[in-house]
Structures are given as C-alpha cells and as structure tokens.
Amino acid sequence: MIKRVHHIGIAVKDLKESVALFECILGLKPVSIEDAPCQKVSEAIYEVGDGMEIDLLEPTGPESAVARFLEKRGEGLHHICFEVDDIDAELKAMEEKGVQLIDRQGRDGVAGKIAFLHPRSVNGVLVELVQPGSGGSNNP
C-alpha cells in the first residue's frame, strides 16, 4: 500500500548554485549534502513539512541517469518517490496491471529498498518506490 510521498527529486546542473537559490528564494537549508554512489548523484536533502523531503540531484558523471535527463530535458522535476510497506508485493501487483518496471525487485538504495517505474507507464513521470529501513546502502 502506498503510504505517503517520501521525496521529490529535482535534477540540477550545479548543486552549489541550486542550494544557494533555494536558500535565497525559499529560505530553506538542506539537512544534508551527500554523494549517493548507487545513483551516481550528489544530493542536497531538504525536509519540508511532515517528514517529506525534496532532493536536489546533481549527476556525478556522464553515465548517471540524471546526466542523461539534464541533457535531453534540462533542469526540473525528475521523479516522485512514494513510500510503501512491501515493495516486492507492490511491484508484483503493478507488473500484473501492465506497468513497465525498471526494477522488478527492490534493491538497496540510500533510504531503504528502492525500485523505479518507467515514466512511459505513469503519464511521463518517473516514479520511485521506497520501503524504508530494509536495506539502505550507499554502495553501488
């Protein structure tokens, strides 16, 4: 079952400049700035409201999915992540409904087990699912 929006990912070209912009325009400061080698990004994480995060994502190399996104589409909304309680069960149910999965099973991500649904199946929006506290590795 989908429980809440866990985070929204925004692709940016220059994390330092975007962090300064967020502070200047919105008065927001990141709770952390870190590398996520498993996703080939550096990210600035903001906590907004009731535990929801906004993550600014700068690619760490040309092979990053975020680098391809920036090249094709420019800066902007990259993905929405929903928290679920049983990621593998959700993926199985979605596959049965004909959703195009990028990951057929949850894999280790920064915040727990994660998986992506292809934007082609979700009105052009890349959707991530996360099952917190189950996995949670920063390694590739």
Contacts with ligand CMX, residue ranges (CB under 6 A): 9, 36, 39, 41, 43, 57, 65-66, 68-69, 72-73, 78-79, 102, 116, 118-119, 124, 126, 128
Nearer to ligand CMX, 33 or 102 (CB): 102
In the complex, least distance from residue 40 CB atom to ligand CMX, rounded to whole angstroms: 7
Distance of CA 18 to the CA centre of its chain: 17
Helix (H) or strand (E) holding 16: helix 15-26
The closest residue (CB) to ligand CMX is 65
In the complex, least distance from residue 9 CB atom to ligand CMX, rounded to whole angstroms: 5
Residue with tokens 């994480």: 45
Nearer to ligand CMX, 27 or 91 (CB): 91
Nearer to ligand CMX, 21 or 45 (CB): 45
Task: Show the 3-state SS of 60-114.
Answer: CCCCCHHHHHHHHHCCEEEEEEEEECCHHHHHHHHHHCCCCECCCCCEEECCEEE
Query: Count of residues for the chain?
Result: 140
Question: Which of 113-139 are b and which e, b meaning 16 or more Cβ less than 10 Å from the residue's Cβ?
Answer: bbbbbeeebeeeebbbbbbbebbeeee
In the complex, least distance from residue 119 CB atom to ligand CMX, rounded to whole angstroms: 4
Nearer to ligand CMX, 17 or 76 (CB): 76
In the complex, least distance from residue 110 CB atom to ligand CMX, rounded to whole angstroms: 7
In the complex, least distance from residue 13 CB atom to ligand CMX, rounded to whole angstroms: 15
